[in-house]
Amino acid sequence: MNLRLLTHPVWQYINQPILDHQSVWDFKKFWYLYRIQLLRRCWLQECSQKSHPYY
């Protein structure tokens, strides 16, 4: 497994702004939200790379 795949989410968790209302300090919840955001970014990237004749 790529080390970057493990360190990137941990780094994002550690570097959250302390007083920001969007910070998530429960790691399970953070991990859940991180995976959703990752899936969304991958989905958007995949869609933008394909040509869609109907759009």
**Is-above-0.85 flag for pTM?**
no
> For position 26, what pLDDT does the model report?
94
Alpha helices (runs of H) in the chain, residue ranges in sequence order? 3-14, 27-49
pLDDT, tens digit, for every residue of 7-55?
A: 888 999 999 998 898 899 999 999 999 999 999 988 888 766 665 555 5
Q: Quick check: 13 and 27 in contact, CB under 8 A?
A: yes
Encoded amino acid at 10, one letter: V
For 53, the 3-state DSSP assignment is coil
The pLDDT of residue 52 is: 56
